[in-house]
Amino acid sequence: MTKFKFIKYKTNKKIRVIYKNPKSDIFVIFLHGLKSDLTGKKPNYLMKQCKKKKVGFMALEYSGHGKSYGKFETGTITSWSNNVKFIIKQKLINKKIIIIGSSLGAWLGLIQLKYFKNIIGFIGIGAAPEFLDRLIWKKLSRKNKNLVFKKKYYNLENDGYSYKITLRIIKDGRKNKVLNKKNNSKFPIYLLHGEKDKVVPQSLSRKILKVFPNSKKKFIKIKNGDHSLSRVKDLKILSNYMNKIIDYCAKPSL
C-alpha cells in the first residue's frame, strides 16, 4: 500500500505527496493530469520501478486535486505550477531531476525549465501544453464563448468526465506559454502518445519536439493506446524510456 505524506505549503495549506528514497542523487518526479491524483496506476507503477533502479521518486497532488488543499475551480496553471516549483525547491533542489508529466502534468513540467537547471530528462504522456487555448477556447463557438464571458466558466465534457473550466484559468493559461520559445537544453526527451487518444491530438505533443532543437528526442506512438496510457503494456514502455534516461545520466563523466 502506498504511503502518502503531507508537506506544508503556506499557512494552513498542505500538499499530498509520495516521497521515496530521499538520499538518492537522481529523482523522478511524476506530475499527474487534470482532475487526477496519486491513486492511479502510473504513480504507483513508477514508484516501484524507481525502487528497483534505486533512484528517488516524488509525486504530488496540486491544489484542488486528491487530498491536497483548496478547490479545483479556484486553481490555475500558475498556482499548480507554483505547487510543483515549491516541492522541487523544498525537496529536490540539489538532485538530478527527471520529469514525467501526464497531459496537464507535461505542461506544468515544461514550465519548470525556466526555474531549474538540474532537470536532466523529460517524458511526456499524452502531453497537453497550452491545451486551454489550443484545445478548448479556440474550438468554442462564438455563442459558447459569450456564455463563458457571462457565466465565467465552461462545462467541459471529455473522455467521460465533466470539468468546470473557468474564464480565469483560460486567461491564466495564456501567461504560461511554453511552445513559443526555443530551449537549448540537451537532455533526453521522450514523448509517448496513444494512437487512439481522443482527448489530446498527437500534433500538440509533437510541438514540444520543435522547442528543443539540441536535445536527444523521440516521439513514440503507442499502438491502440488511449489518453491515459495506463495499460500494463503502456506502463512497461513508459518504464523502459524512464530507465533509458536514468542509465544515461548515471554514466560516469568521461
pLDDT given at position 53: 96
Q: How far apart (Å, rounded) are the C-alpha atoms in residues 112 and 204?
A: 19
Is the per-residue pLDDT at 254 higher than 60? no
**Cα three-residue angle 99-223-240, rounded to 5 degrees:** 40
Tens-digit pLDDT profile for residues 16-53: 999 999 999 999 999 999 999 999 999 999 999 999 99
Q: Is residue 97 within a helix (H) or strand (E), and if so which, with residue range?
A: strand 96-102
**Cα three-residue angle 73-82-39, rounded to 5 degrees:** 65
Which residue in 62, 84, 89, 87 sits closest to 75, CA to CA? 62
Q: What's this model's pTM, rounded to 2 decimal places?
A: 0.95
Which amino acid is located at 106 in the chain? A
The answer to whether residues 197 and 242 touch, using CB atoms and an 8 Å cutoff, is no
Arithmetic mean of pLDDT, 216-225:
97
The answer to whether residues 189 and 109 touch, using CB atoms and an 8 Å cutoff, is no
Owning domain of residue 94: 5-128+179-250
The answer to whether residues 34 and 66 touch, using CB atoms and an 8 Å cutoff, is no
Instruction: Specify the CATH number for the domain of residue 26.
Output: 3.40.50.1820
pLDDT given at position 141: 87
In 106-204, the DSSP E strands lie at 119-125, 153-158, 161-166, 189-194
Identify whether 174 is part of a domain: no
Identify whether 173 is part of a domain: no
Specify the number of domains making up the chain.
Answer: 1
Tens-digit pLDDT profile for residues 160-215: 677 788 899 999 999 999 999 999 999 999 999 999 999 999 999 999 999 999 99
Task: Taking each helix axis as running N to C, give the angle between helix 77-87 and helix 104-111, from 0 to 180 degrees, rounded to the nearest 10.
Answer: 60
Q: Is residue 199 within a helix (H) or strand (E), and if so which, with residue range?
A: none
**Cell triple for residue 80?**
499548480
pLDDT given at position 251: 67
Identify the bridge partners of residue 30 per DSSP, sorted by sequence position.
59, 100
Q: How far apart (Å, rounded) are the C-alpha atoms in residues 187 and 245?
A: 9
Identify whether 124 is part of a domain: yes
Measured CA distances, 223 to 33, 137, 191, 234, 237 (Å): 21, 29, 14, 9, 11
Identify whether 39 is part of a domain: yes
Arithmetic mean of pLDDT, 66-82:
96
Arithmetic mean of pLDDT, 62-69:
97
Identify whether 148 is part of a domain: no
Give residue 252's pLDDT band: very low, low, confident or very high (50, 70, 90). low
Identify whether 167 is part of a domain: no
Identify whether 215 is part of a domain: yes
> What percentage of the chain has pLDDT greater than the value 70?
96
Q: What is the CA radius of gyration of the chain?
A: 18
Q: How far apart (Å, rounded) are the C-alpha atoms in residues 33 and 65?
A: 10
Identify whether 93 is part of a domain: yes
The answer to whether residues 136 and 154 touch, using CB atoms and an 8 Å cutoff, is yes
Tens-digit pLDDT profile for residues 118-161: 999 999 999 999 999 999 999 888 888 888 888 888 887 766 67
